[in-house]
Structure 1
Amino acid sequence: MPTLEHNAFVEMFRQTPELAPHFLVTLFHVDVPRHASVAVVESSLDQLIPVEFRADLVLELRDANGTLVLAIIVEVQREEDPDKKFSWPVYVTVVRARKRCGTVVLVVAPGADVAAWAAENIDVGLGFGNLKPLVLGPAVVPEITDPAEAVQETELAVLSAVAHGNGPNGLAVVQAVLVALGRLDQEHAAVYFQIIWNGLREPMRRALEALVMERQIEGEATLPSFVQKLIDRGKLEGMREGKIEGMREGKIEGKRETLLRLLARAGIALTDHESARIQACSDIATLDRWVDNVLGAKTAAEVLS
């Protein structure tokens, strides 16, 4: 059964068919014929043989005169499937014969292992002919860490986050795509973020959760609502409260240390009771007052008044 990720990538190319030839030119450096339009067409590839072959998507590129100049078969592949090595040549042959134009297979495979498998040459017989799929995988899709670039190439940024989200620059890649997704409508943005989130491993999820938490604590603009919905709110609140409490405790401890250091410099001795009173105090205003009292005080009682 097709997954959310599978359907989302298919819809990405269905709704923006210009992406396919754009990627062929920019990522694979293919000399795509001049064309004026790109259209989605029927993807059922029935033949006389009573077996139906159905590609995920078939796109047609036509020139200004309406002449068909290239067909692109888009396939989304999340795992290895030996049958595809037999069906992809069928797709190309059928589309080429039916449409009388050059035809290529463009495979979207975010996983490195699956991408390497999909990119293998397919020998159609005794080495006399082969098919070379073009594969959008981690080796081809760049790491997009610049938010401005992500906004300009949003779909590529989504592919980048899925392919590289768990890598060394994963957090920067995800941050960049979040800026781009924030400019999309909520429905599409939420779906894209869902497939990115689903692909993140636990360390990167925790890093993203920490990023959200820090922005909340520092009062910065929160991340888009679809991010907040997917990341467990209770967990975030717990992390947020924990960090705030930790920051508060650190500040209080710093005040206590300052007070004790000033008392020692002033030569004011403390009894066990007075020392315990200082250690038990957790009110920052009180500690600040005691620090101010050290100046000119002769006894601990004057300081702790």
Structure 2
Amino acid sequence: MPVCRDAGTAAWAMGPFACTAGPWTTQVTRPLVLGPQTVPFFTDESAVAQRPALAALAAIVHSEDRRVEAILETVARGFMSFTPHLTEYWLEVVEIGLENTPTKAKWRTLVRNVITHFPGHRTLFEDTYLEGKAEGKAEGTALGEAKGVLRVLEVRGIPVSDEVRERIGSCTDLEVVNDWLDRAGTVQRAEDLFTDV
């Protein structure tokens, strides 16, 4: 079942497409296409909460509509009625569906503004969300740096045991990993990274 943002392409994709054998038509296919003509957009936040999957699909399909900002805001605010875990899930579904379209940037900006019902008031939800976001960023950076440590050792031809690889790869302390990265260019053995200097 194709999903299409462009109304003209969606209309073409709906067919009908005829298969023929000589002068006879043997089959006519009319594909079901999810496009602006077949998926309604949402204007009511409560309707989004009742049908989140359809609302997510609508936000994706109508991403080229001139009213896209209002459509996205309705969908995002509708998702806010769920628990934080479900809210994040549906927000990410839409973001992934928007792929690399210009609308994705609009969606990301909008999500930053509606992730809490009371932005800027430092509620428990907002603080928890922001702390988790910061921890995730730091952890992601540490894991990226850990790959760098392993790469430096590999380029220098220094053998790395599975135990050392696991210890480096699982460390989420950015300060420790940065220290290893600094030392990876001079140590004689991978295990020397873990000795105090």
TM-score category by the smaller chain?
A: 0.3 to 0.5
Name the structure, 1 or 2, with higher relative contact order (CA <8 Å, separation 6+).
2
TM-score by length of 2: 0.46
Name whichever structure is richer in strand by fraction: 1
Question: Higher Cα Rg: structure 1 or 2?
Answer: 1
Output the TM-score relative to the length of structure 1. 0.32
